[in-house]
Amino acid sequence: MKITLTLNGRSREVDLPPLVRLLDALRGPLGLPGTKEGCGEGECGSCTVLLDGEPVNACLVSIGQCEGRAVTTVEGLSDATHLGPLARCFVDHGGAQCGICTPGMLISAEALLARRPDPSDEEIREAIAGNLCRCTGYQRIVDSIREAARERAGGAA
Amino acid sequence: MTTAAQNASSARPPFIGTNVPRTDGASKVTGRAAYVDDLPHEPGELFGATVRSPVPRARLRGITLDPAFDWSDVTVVRASDLAVNEVQCISAEQPILAADQIRHAYEPVVLLACADKRKLAQAVRAVKLDLEPLTPVLDPEQSFAKVDVIWGEDNVHKRFSITKGRADLPDPAGSAAAIEAAIASCEIVVRGRYTTHHQEQLYIEPQGVIARWDDKGVHVTGSLQCPYYVHKALVHGFDLAADRVHVTQAVTGGGFGGKEEYPSVIALHAALLAQKSGKPVRMIYDRKEDIEATTKRHPAICEITSGCDRDGTLRALSIRILMDGGAYMTLTPVVLSRGALHAAGVYRWDDVRIDAIAVATNTPPNGAFRGFGAPQTIWAIERHLDRVAEELGRDPMDLKAQNMLREGDTTATGQTLRGSVGVAECVDKALTASGYHDKRKAAPVVRGRVARGIGASVFMHGAGFTGSGEKHLKGRVAVDLLPGGRLRIRTASTDIGQGTETVFRQIAADAAGVRLEDVDFAVPSTSYVPDSGPTVASRTVMVVGGIVERAAREVAARVRAEQEASGGEFTAAADRLLTKEREVTALVQYEHPGWVTWDDSTYKGDAYPVYGYACDVAEVEVDLDTLEVTVTGFWSATDVGKAIHPVMCKGQIEGGSLQAIGWALWEDVVWKNGLIQNPRMTNYIIPTALDAPPMHVDLVEAPYAYGPGGGAKGVGELPMDGGAPAIAAAVEHATGIFARDLPLLPERLLELQTTRKGFGAKGAEGDPKPQALKG
Ligand code: FES
Ligand code: FES
C-alpha cells in the first residue's frame, strides 16, 4: 500500500503493508536509523517521534496510521551543518552519554518546549518520564533541557 | 619537556579539568552515530536467532527439526557441527551450544539463520528439543552443601580467604578458631546476615553483532566493551591465527559490564552461522532474550561477626561470603575476588578473616556488572556498621568516621595506604551539603502518613585490575603522528558512553601541547589497535589514560626535537619528520608502579595501586501505609584524584548512583523454578526521571601520583557501591525498620515491621522512632 507522509518537513511516499511498524519503516525503507529500538513494546521511549507534533512510540504506531500526517524524528531536529539549540545543550551539559536514549529524549524535550517554553524541573521530569536512560541518572538531561529553554527564551547571555 | 613544548602548551590553557564538548556528542544528538543495528544491511545478509532451553536442568536427548517445515533457506547449527565447543573466558568450561546437558534455563542449543525475519521466528518454533528434565539446584547454600553435584567435583567455582592479624594462620580451621577467639575477647560483639539479589544491566541498546567471513578470516562488528576478549574467544572457537580474526566496536549503547564477557558468546554464535551459510549474519537480541539469557549481577550472602571496644574502636572482623556464580564459572572468580577485597569496608581492623566462596547453580551465568562484587559486600559491611552503631547508641557516620582508613593505615590484605586518601574530605563535604547532622538529630519528620529520614554510607573502590593483574596484562596504546601535526590515538579501550574518547583526547592534547581538534581517536578494532586491556575495573582513565599520556608526550617530543634541529612551526616539523621517517608512532606499554607487591596465593599486599573514595547521603520519604520509599535527595562527594572532565565525571557518578538506587528499591529479577518471571521492561523496573532524585555531586581531588592529567583515579564503578546502604539507613531513620536484604520492596519492609525482625524496631538512643510506628 502506498502511504504518503510529511517526514521531517518533506513529503515522502513509501510502499509498505500498512501494519508495518513506523519504527521499522523509518529505520528501513525511509533510511532514518536515528530512531532506536530498546524494547519494542512502548516502555523505553528510545523510539519516540513526533506525530503531528505529539510524541508517540514509533514501535506502537503502524505506518498506515501515518497517512497524510507529519512525522518528525531526531534527524529533523538539527540540520546538516549545525546543531539545534536543544541538541547542543545536550552536548554541552552532559545530557548524552552512550547516546542510545538521546534521540527519543530530544523528541520528548522538543514536544515539551513547544508547548511549555519555560518548564519547571518537575515538568521536565514528567515530560521525559517515558524515556528511560540507564547512563546519566537524568540530572544532566534535566539540566540540558532547562538550559535549552533558557536559551530559546533569549536568556543565554 | 623541551622549551618549545612548554611554549606550545603554555600558549593555551590546558584541556584537562575543563568541560570540552564531548567529541562524539554531535553524532549522538543528530542520530548519525551508528550503533550495530544501524549499520547498513549487506547484500545477502541473514538474521540469526537462538533456540534456547525452556528448563533449568535436563539431559538433552535429541533435537528434531519439524519435517513439515521448509528448511531449505534456513541455516542450522548444533553442537554436533562444532569442532571446538568452548567459550574461552578465564577458563573454557562453558559450551558454545549445549551438547547433551542443559545447565541453565535459556541455555543456547541450536542456532538458526534466515533472510526472512518472520520465517526465522517460525523456524525457532519448529525446532523440538527432546529433554529429560532433572531437578535443578537453584539455591547457592544447597549448592555449597552439595545436595547434588552440578559443576566440577563440589560445585565450588572458587574459594579463598583473606586473613590479617591473629587470624593470619595458614590452616583454615586454625584461622577460623583464632578469629572467633579474637572476636570473643571484644567488649561488643555484633552478628548479622545480609543478602543481595540479581541485577540486570539493562543497557538500553540490547546485545548485538554482525559477523561475516572473507579471505582475511572472520569479521565481527558489535556492541561490546572489550574487543580483545571477543578476539580471544573467536581465535579459540575457530582455531584461527590471531591475524585472521577482526573485531570492531560499533557505537555502543551502554554496557555497565554486561558487554564485557557476554559478547564473546553472541559473536561466536553469529560467526558460526555466517561460516556455515557463507553469508553475513546479523544477530540482535530482543529485550526479553537479552534479559533472560545474558549475565546479571551475582547475588551474595554475607555473614558478618565483628568485635569492637565500647568506645567504638573496631577490632576484629569475620565474614563469610557466598556468591551465586550461575551455571558456568565465566568471570566469577574475579568478581568474588573484588567482592572479598572490599568486604572489610573503608575501615581499620586489627584481626580479619574473610572466607569467600562462589558456587554454581542451575541459573544463567552471572557476570560483570559495574562494581563487580563490591556493591554486594559493601552493602553488608555498611549495614553491619549501622547495626554496631545502634548497639553503641552512636550515630552511624560518627562511628564510621572514627574508624576510617587514613594514610599510613593498613587494609585487610596488609596494604599500607600511601596517600591519595580523600575519604575524610568526602564525608565532611557530603554530610555538610546534605545537612545530615541536623536532619539526623531532629526526630524523623512525620507529616500525615509520610515519614522522612536521612542516611549515609562511606566506601572505597580499588581502581584498576586486582593485584598483579595490570602487570601481567601489559596494556598498550599507540599514538601516531599524522600530516599537519595531528595525532591519532589507537587503543582497545572503548567508549561505551562514559566519554573515553573525549577524555583521552584531552590527556593527549595536553601531553603533546596540541589542540584538542588535532587529536583523533581510532575506532577500536583489533585489526589496528593494540591490546590496551579490557574496558573494565575503573582502569580506563587511570591506567590506559596514563599510557596515552606517555605515548602522546613521546610523539610530541620527537616533533619538537625536529623543530629544535631545523626550526619552523610544529606542523611543519611534523610533516618533515613524517617525510623522513614515513611512520612516526609511539607504542607504549603500561608500567606498574614499582612498589606494588601482591601475592595471589595468600591474598596479601597491594590489592590495588590506589582507591577512589566516596560518601553518599540519601534522603527518603516512606509512605507509612504502603511502605513505598521515594528518594527525595541524593548527595555524593567522591574522591576521583583529578577530574579530567568534571561534567562527564559527575555524569558517571550520577548515573552509577541511580543504578544503585534502582537496585536498592525496585530492580528485582523474579525467579520461579529457575525461570525469570519478569523479563521485560514493563516488569523489570528501572528508575525513570520521576523516580530519580535530584543529585548533588561534589568532586574531591586527592591526586594519585601515578595517575594521568595530574592524578586521576578510576571512577567508573565506585558510584554503584554506596547508594543501597545509604537508602537503607535513611529508611531506618524514617521508620525504625532495619533491612538486611535487598531490594527494599514494600512487602519486605512490611514483613520486617510486623514481625519486628528489623533490629531497629527496638529503637536506639538518639534515634527516636516516629510516633506513628509505636505500639
Ligand atoms: S522501542 Fe518503542 S518504546 Fe521501547
Ligand atoms: S545516555 Fe545511555 S541510555 Fe541514556
Is the same domain home to B585 and B611?
no
C-alpha cell read off for A9: 518537513
Distance from C-alpha of B656 to C-alpha of B642, rounded to nearest angstrom: 18
Contact, B333 vs B358, CB < 8 A?
yes
Q: To the nearest 10°, the Cα dihedral for B585, B590, B593, B594?
A: -90
What's the gap between Cα A129 and its chain centre? 13
What are the extents of the domains in chain A?
A: 2-77, 85-152
Is the same domain home to B559 and B411?
no
Is the same domain home to B576 and B685?
no
Candidates A21, A26, A36, A44: which one to mutate for ligand 1, based on the most atoms within 8 Å of Cβ? A44
Side chain identity at residue B50, one-letter code? T
Contact, B743 vs B297, CB < 8 A?
no
Task: Compute the Cα dihedral for B302, B338, B259, B245 and give only its sign.
Answer: negative
Q: Is residue B755 part of a domain?
A: yes
Q: Is residue B735 part of a domain?
A: yes
Which ligand sits nearest to residue B251's alpha carbon? 2
Residues of chain B with pLDDT under 70: 1-11, 756-775
Place of cell 517521534: A49
Nearest atom within ligand 1 for CA of residue A42: 3
Is the same domain home to B630 and B761?
yes
Which ligand sits nearest to residue B205's alpha carbon? 2
Q: Is residue B432 part of a domain?
A: yes
Q: Helix B396-403 crosses helix B374-392 at what angle (to 10 degrees)?
A: 110
Is the same domain home to B484 and B507?
yes
Is the same domain home to B483 and B458?
no
Q: Of B533, B556, B589, which marks where a domain is finished?
A: B589
DSSP designation for A35: S
CB contact under 8 A, A34 and B29: no
Which ligand sits nearest to residue B25's alpha carbon? 2
Q: Within 10 Å of residue B389's Cβ, how many Cβ atoms?
A: 22
Q: Is residue B295 part of a domain?
A: no
Q: How many angstroms is it from B632 CA to the middle of ligand 1? A: 28
Position B1 scores a pLDDT of 38
Residues 22-81 in A contacting B (C-alpha not used; CB under 8 Å): 27, 32-41, 43-44, 46, 73-75, 77-78
Position B766 scores a pLDDT of 34
> What is the pairing mode between strands B598-599 and B604-605?
antiparallel
Residues contacting B764, CB < 8 A, separation 6+: B390, B393
Contact, B168 vs B179, CB < 8 A?
no
Question: Least CA distance to B696: which residue of chain A?
Answer: A139
- Interval B619-667: pLDDT, tens: 999 999 999 999 999 999 999 999 999 999 999 999 999 999 999 999 9
Position B442 scores a pLDDT of 86
Helix count and strand count (H, E) for chain A = 5, 5
A78 to chain B: which residues are within 8 Å by CB? 29-30
Q: For B534-565, give one letter per residue: b (16+ CB within 10 A) or e.
A: bbbbbbbbbbbbbbbbbbbbbbbbbbbebbee
What's the gap between Cα A155 and its chain centre? 24
Contact, B749 vs B674, CB < 8 A?
no
Span between the terminal Cα atoms of chain B, in Å: 73
Q: Within 10 Å of residue A80's Cβ, how many Cβ atoms?
A: 7
Q: How many angstroms is it from A101 CA to the middle of ligand 2? A: 5
Is the same domain home to B643 and B611?
yes
Q: Is residue B699 part of a domain?
A: yes
In what helix (H) or strand (E) does residue A150 lie, and over which residues does it extend?
A: helix A139-152
Candidates A26, A37, A73, A132: which one to mutate for ligand 1, based on the most atoms within 8 Å of Cβ? A37
Position B8 scores a pLDDT of 47
Which one of B28, B682, B689 has the shortest CB-CB distance to A41?
B682
Q: What is the CATH code of the structural domain delimited by A2-77? A: 3.10.20.30
Q: Whole-prediction pTM value?
A: 0.96
B714, HSE (Cβ side, Cα atoms, 13 Å): 25
Is the same domain home to B456 and B493?
no
Position B382 scores a pLDDT of 98
What are the residues facing A2 on neighbouring strands?
Answer: A15
CATH code where residue B8 lies: 3.30.365.10
User: Phi then psi for B142, rounded to 5 degrees?
Assistant: -70, -35
Distance from C-alpha of B239 to C-alpha of B399, rounded to nearest angstrom: 57
Contact, B589 vs B618, CB < 8 A?
no
> What is the pairing mode between strands B245-249 and B217-222?
parallel
Is the same domain home to B510 and B417?
no
DSSP designation for B741: B
> What is the pairing mode between strands B208-214 and B281-284?
antiparallel
Side chain identity at residue A90, one-letter code? F
Q: Within 10 Å of residue A108's Cβ, how many Cβ atoms?
A: 23
Ligand 2: residues with CB < 6 A are A 96-102, 133-136; B 204, 254, 497
Distance from C-alpha of B169 to C-alpha of B167, rounded to nearest angstrom: 6
Distance from C-alpha of A129 to C-alpha of A118, rounded to nearest angstrom: 18
B47 to chain A: which residues are within 8 Å by CB? none
Count of residues in chain A? 157
Q: Of B589, B619, B654, which marks where a domain is finished?
A: B589
- From the CA of A145, how many Å to the nearest CA of chain B? 13
Q: Of B589, B617, B648, which marks where a domain is finished?
A: B589
Is the same domain home to B678 and B572?
no
Position A11 scores a pLDDT of 98
Q: Is residue B450 part of a domain?
A: yes
Q: How many angstroms is it from A56 CA to the middle of ligand 1? A: 10
- Give chain B's domain count: 2
B190, HSE (Cβ side, Cα atoms, 13 Å): 22
C-alpha cell read off for A64: 498506515
Contact, B403 vs B306, CB < 8 A?
no
Is the same domain home to B482 and B456?
no
Q: To the nearest 10°, the Cα dihedral for B331, B335, B341, B343?
A: -160
Query: By residue range, what is the domain housing residue B486?
Result: 2-33+475-589
Mean pLDDT, contiguous 10-residue spans, chain A (157 residues)? 97 97 98 98 98 98 98 91 90 97 98 97 98 98 97 72
Place of cell 546479571: B296
Task: Compute the Cα dihedral for B405, B408, B409, B412 and give only its sign.
Answer: positive
SS3 label, residue B186: coil
Which DSSP string do the residues of B12-51 spell out, in sequence order?
S--STTS-PPPTTHHHHHTT---BGGGSPPPTT-EEEEEE
The CATH fold assigned to A85-152 is: DNA polymerase; domain 1 (1.10.150)
Q: Is residue B84 part of a domain?
A: no
Residues contacting B432, CB < 8 A, separation 6+: none
Residues 78-97 in A contacting B (C-alpha not used; CB under 8 Å): 78, 83, 87-88, 90-94, 96-97
Helix count and strand count (H, E) for chain B = 21, 28
Distance from C-alpha of B192 to C-alpha of B425, rounded to nearest angstrom: 29
Gyration radius (Cα) of chain B, Å = 27
Q: Helix A139-152 crosses helix B646-665 at what angle (to 10 degrees)?
A: 130
CB contact under 8 A, B35 and A36: yes
SS3 label, residue B680: coil
Largest CA distance in chain A: 51
In what helix (H) or strand (E) does residue B214 lie, and over which residues does it extend?
A: strand B208-214
> What is the pairing mode between strands B75-78 and B46-52?
unpaired
Average pLDDT, chain B: 94
Which of B458, B541, B454, B449 shows the shortest CA–CA distance to B494? B541
In what helix (H) or strand (E) does residue A69 lie, and over which residues does it extend?
A: none
Q: Is residue B769 part of a domain?
A: yes
Is the same domain home to B576 and B714?
no
Nearest atom within ligand 1 for CA of residue A36: 1
